[in-house]
Amino acid sequence: MEMLRSQGVNPLGNAQIPECESNGNAEIPACESNGNAEIPGCDTNGNAEIPVCESNGNAEIPVCESNGNAEIPVCESNGNAEIPGCESNGKC
């Protein structure tokens, strides 16, 4: 988590950049009353879409998919291994 925090993201995955509050909602004039952003730095739910966060606030760094599971070569989208000796459910 330290890595993400150092890139402008708090432990919840919401942006701490100037355009967004700590909960990911915009606090600037270009956002609607429901906190949804109308500007490049935020997606429609008010979360940051800066490189280290997807629209749901999860990390999209190389080792994580949008749901936070690993997408490295030895894992499938659900985090189970797909290496030759294992089935898609991770059972060998």
Average pLDDT, the chain: 48
Say which amino acid occupies 85. G
Do 40 and 70 share a domain, yes or no? no
Do 50 and 84 share a domain, yes or no? no
Q: How far apart are CA 23 and CA 27, in angstroms?
A: 10
Q: How far apart are CA 17 and CA 9, in angstroms?
A: 8
Q: How far apart are CA 71 and CA 60, in angstroms?
A: 10
Q: 60, 69, 45, 71: which is closest to 13 by C-alpha?
A: 60
Phi, psi of 2, rounded to the nearest 5 degrees: -60, -35
The larger pLDDT score, comparing residue 50 to residue 22, is at 22
The larger pLDDT score, comparing residue 84 to residue 5, is at 84
Do 72 and 53 share a domain, yes or no? no
Do 49 and 5 share a domain, yes or no? yes
Task: Give the pLDDT mean for 1-20.
Answer: 46
| Amino acid 47: pLDDT | 53
If one counts the domains in the chain, the total is 2
Phi, psi of 31, rounded to the nearest 5 degrees: -115, 150
Domain extent for 34: 1-61
pTM for the structure as a whole: 0.14
